[in-house]
Chains A and B, each alone.
Chain A
């Protein structure tokens, strides 16, 4: 059974930093691209960042580019999101999601974690 378990959320002041983690089990973690998707309170879903299975390629939404860094440690089956220069508008539940991909491209998210809440407030 595939399980994705996020951690690391909490309350942080504007301008502060936080690192989220997502521990994966039930999959050969290094074989799969992974992503972070967030959801502000009462709002819809927003893609944040993606990383290839090897970790060699990363992609970010314009809203977080230069502030957030996605990474992974395949030896620990763990995905990370380093969030710097946090703003009030970054307040959201952050989900990690596994992408279903072929050898050349990805299509959709087939597994999601339960999310971790990040609140940016003074």
Chain B
């Protein structure tokens, strides 16, 4: 079982460049999430999608856009990358509703120089 798959696993961008992080899940989950992890900060929610066709802002949405392409896929786009967006990005999914286990991808380490 693949679970949650993120691509790429590593990326280096120059300031001002754009890129899209891809995420796909094969568990038929309703909800999908994007988090960023920074040293000493834990995981902070960027955007989430409770169902296909809906997206909502999380704690730190500035500088990001998302697309819930279909039930399986949820992408995160950086339009103009900044050094402050250097981080490890995690995609996660679950059935939705409080209390359900979230399943995570293996993360994307992004460095913006």
A, B co-complexed: no
Q: Which residues of B contact A (CB under 8 A)?
A: none
